[in-house]
Amino acid sequence: MRAVIQRVSSASVTVDSQIVGSIDTGLLILLGVGQDDSRNDAIWLAAKIAGLRIFPDEAGKMNLSLTQIQGKALVVSQFTLYGDCKKGKRPSFVQAAAPEIAKTLYQDFIAELIGHGLKVETGTFQAKMDVALVNDGPVTLILDSP
């Protein structure tokens, strides 16, 4: 699994002119599922993200996790994170998981975040989505499961 994590002061996702998910302070998580990913990847990645110390403490040092600040997560599926642009001008997505597998692991990942006590909003799987965010910092990280 691959995640692009952005620390945000606000973020939302819109489908067909309707906001389907929105958060204030927390993380926007763009999540891609690869062909070889399993439930163990979802478990590992959710625990890693829930515990990442990327929020400022009272001294302004990145020392607090999403769980500690009781922040929220907005999870948006994004198969294009597995786009391979090494050859030609058009990305290849052969490393992305098939939609039925990706959806199950996407849902597993969300369930794991909720299991860590986080409030989670989502986009709509396989929909065309418009994502808006205010990146705080900016802080943006890329994580791959083992």
Residue 67 annotated among the catalytic residues of the structure = no
Domain ranges for the chain, please list them. Answer: 2-144
The per-residue pLDDT for 11 is 98
Per-residue CA distances from 109 to 59, 61, 89 (Å): 32, 28, 32
46-78 pLDDT, tens digit per residue, is 999 999 999 999 999 999 999 999 999 999 999
What does pTM read for this prediction? 0.96
Q: How far apart are the first and last CA of the chain?
A: 8
Active site residue 79: yes
CATH number belonging to domain 2-144 = 3.50.80.10
Distance of CA 85 to the CA centre of its chain: 22
Scanning the structure block, which residue is given the tokens 């965010």?
133
At 36 the pLDDT is 96
CA gap 139, 66 in Å, rounded: 13
Q: Which residue of the set 79, 124, 126, 140 is catalytic?
A: 79
